[in-house]
Amino acid sequence: MSVSRWASILQKAKHQVYISRSNDPFVNLSIEHHLLQNSPIDSVVLFLYVNRPCVVIGRNQNPWLEINLKALKAVEPPIDWVRRRSGGGAVFHDEGNVNYSVICPSSVFTRDKHVEMVTRAIRKFNDRARVNERYDIVLDQGPWKYQPIDTNDTHISMYSSDLPDKPSLKVSGSAYKLTRQRALHHGTCLLDSTRIRSISEMLRSPARPFLKARGVESVRSPVGNVLSNRTSPESRFQTQGLFMSSVIDSFTNLYRIQPDITLDMANRDPTVAGGQIQLQQSPGSENWLAGFLDEGCQSVPEVEAGLVELRSTKWLYGQTPQFTLSSHSSKEDDRPRPPLPADFPPCGHVHVKAAGSVFIESHVSLSDDEYIARQERESFDAAIKGKHVHEISNFGNLVYDAFGAGHRESERRGLTNWLNEMFAVS
């Protein structure tokens, strides 16, 4: 089926199931957004995909707070970070993580509906799964309770969850986007990520103790895999296929709909001709549309436009809510600070404010003399105000322009090093 044909039919089909063969997070999120905007208002859509390694943050999050940007750059090849259009917290994706997206009428949406759907699918592989109070899916790590439970209740499991030394492990988190007539619920599922031990490093910013941001801050949780690690690509593909089949079954059971076309979607690895996407439609009916999508969907103008937006610096950085970075506690941010680096200037103070990735205010000084410090603050503010945070490749020139030769080189270098570390520049 041609991509243009798909773009037309998806506006009519009431039941749609897709698996993406692209591992590009920008492409998959753009396809997802296109489905949200263009599927019928009374339709239900399931979209499954696996991304290459990346970090995805919520629409109203701060990348300098949520991500260790230097760690992403240090990996070969470098790991992308993406700002999605929905809310929620930061998550790490890789080939061992399957992502699901359900789009439905807003009138039938509830926060637990689809996370319960996915939990039922996970329980075919791990009976420790349950939905917690935050609508995350976790695996309880305690012993068997030795008491009967309702196995249809996805909010409890047969295992203890209240042991301090065995906390439940998060395997799936969710985010939402609601429009007047449509609801999007998408989430992750850690099946067998080989990077499970490095996730916390990627999501631990060195600026966190010093940075206070508006918007949504991620809630840190211990994480785990639904299955034990499987290192071979063949094994991972089989695991993903079985899980996707389970999610598809759970989806069709939830909405009490039986497709009149039979697909063994998740266990096939189709070869797709250029300009074509592999889809099946029920003969003589436009009620069902199911199959595989890939990067050929970029030829749909709306998908391409969404892709350009997601990759733009205006979206990635310009959406960042207002934040402050302070080297010391203040009225605005009275949290205790960890010790500053040994080379940080002994009388130095840093307080900068930015919004939309643009510096709007600063109070930075190196002197312990208040008269001199005031002049320094004015000089640094004039040098930095209006500059885009993400466009600064090194704070050394700004520091020199503001303080010149009036201070020891070691003090200027110490301040430069700290600012470079906080904003993840070289």
pLDDT exceeds 70 at position 264: no
Summarize the confidence of residues 305-332 as an average pLDDT.
96
What pLDDT, on a 0 to 100 scale, did the predictor assign at position 290?
A: 87
SS3 419: helix
141, 127 Cβ separation under 8 angstroms: no
Reported confidence tier of residue 33, pLDDT bands at 50, 70, 90? very high
pLDDT in tens, 98-142: 999 999 999 999 999 999 999 999 999 999 999 999 999 999 999
Distance CA 47, CA 103 (A): 8
Which domains are present in the chain?
A: 3-316 (3.30.930.10), 323-422 (no CATH)
Beta strand segments in 214-322, E: 279-281, 288-293
**pTM for this entry:** 0.91
What pLDDT, on a 0 to 100 scale, did the predictor assign at position 149?
A: 76
What pLDDT, on a 0 to 100 scale, did the predictor assign at position 257?
A: 79
pLDDT exceeds 50 at position 32: yes
| CA distances, 341 to each of 67, 265, 371, 422 (Å) | 20, 54, 26, 12
154: tokens are: 């996805």
101, 47 Cβ separation under 8 angstroms: yes
Which residues have CB under 8 Å from 24's CB, separation 6+? 51, 52, 295
The strand order across the sheet containing 323-326 reads: 211-213, 323-326, 349-355, 358-365
SS3 11: coil
What pLDDT, on a 0 to 100 scale, did the predictor assign at position 271?
A: 42
What pLDDT, on a 0 to 100 scale, did the predictor assign at position 337?
A: 96
H/E stretch holding 18: strand 15-20
Reported confidence tier of residue 411, pLDDT bands at 50, 70, 90? very high
52, 22 Cβ separation under 8 angstroms: no
pLDDT exceeds 70 at position 70: yes
404: tokens are: 């010149």
Summarize the confidence of residues 232-244 as an average pLDDT.
78
Of all residues in the chain, the percent with pLDDT exceeding 70 is 90
Between helices 301-311 and 25-38, what is the axis angle to 10°? Answer: 130
Q: Which alpha helices (H) appear in 141-212, and where do they start and end?
A: 199-202
| CA distances, 19 to each of 46, 119, 267, 273, 289 (Å) | 8, 19, 11, 16, 12
Distance CA 148, CA 386 (A): 63
